[in-house]
Structure 1
Amino acid sequence: MHTRRRGSSDSDKPVADEPPEWSDVDAEAVEERVVELAEQGHSPSEIGLKLRDEGVQGTPVPDVTLATDKKITEILEEHDAEPDLPEDLRNLMERAVGLREHMDENPNDHQNKRALQNTESKIRRLVDYYRGDELDTDFTYSYDTAKELL
């Protein structure tokens, strides 16, 4: 969006209707592990990586959706363990806070100033998207609110 690049073509996941034979983990065990990892403070993408690498009871879970017929965020919503901010918005806010702190120390870093403007623009666009559903209707982004939420 804010770069000169034209985007990147990603490879698609292989089409699969059921989990692989070597990963025969019970769906309830996967859901319990997802909620447990969320309570430890992990984001949905980190939960997916941990399930892929560590698995449940030693058995890796390559795809939570195939194993449980639900996405990680759906599982978290069912168990009232979803994060207070959407993950993409939280990541952008963390980046903006870091850039703002860098700007305070280095006021002549014009490249960083532009990066901060672009990041805050993306945040405002995402806030408009999430407002009402996952955010309060009167939520507006500012550096102070981001610092407070993080």
Structure 2
Amino acid sequence: MARMHTRRRGSSGSDRPAADEPPEWSDVDEDAIEDRVVELAEQGHDPSQIGLKLRDEGVQGTPIPDVKLATGKKVTEILEENDAEPDLPEDFRNLLEQAVRLREHVQENGQDHQNKRALQNTESKIRRLADYYRGDELDEDFKYSYENAVELLE
């Protein structure tokens, strides 16, 4: 698939192996996995970071290669059930943080045209993503601005 703001094509990546059930060596109880997911979320980790921690550290010393295979639910579904989901979607928050960093950089370095363009592209992505999330995760009257982004991230 082509990139959004360049003329280049995307690079191919590896696919996860097709599996219908978790591996035999990873036989951790579903409730223990869900408890660990909620615990990591309360420590301030994002859903993607939770998945990485479960893959690397595991639960009770046993790695969990795929939470959805082990529990039948995604990490975000587990967080929603336990009222531990983040206030902003992870992809939206990451774009806001990137835009705030770029805006502060461009204010200090006015001649950095490459990062001015990167800021424009990032803000464009934020506006499109805000249209997608408006009404569900965002307010109906949400409008992106630098001040709103800083306020949401605090």
TM-score by length of 2: 0.95
1:81 corresponds to 2:76? no
Structure 2 Cα separation of the partners of residues 3 and 96 of structure 1? 18
In the other structure, the counterpart of 1:15 is 18
In the other structure, the counterpart of 1:113 is 116
Counterpart code for 2:8: R
In the other structure, the counterpart of 2:144 is 141
Q: Displacement, 1:18?
A: 0.7
- SS in structure 2 at match of 1:52: helix
- Map 1:1-150 to 2 at 5 A: 1-150=4-153
Structure 1 Cα separation of the partners of residues 72 and 82 of structure 2? 16
Q: Which runs of 4+ in 1 moved over 3 A?
A: none
Structure 2 Cα separation of the partners of residues 26 and 136 of structure 1? 38
Report the aligned-residue RMSD: 0.7
| Percent of residue pairs bearing the same amino acid type | 81
Q: What stretches of structure 2 of length at least 5 have no aligned partner?
A: none
TM-score by length of 1: 0.98
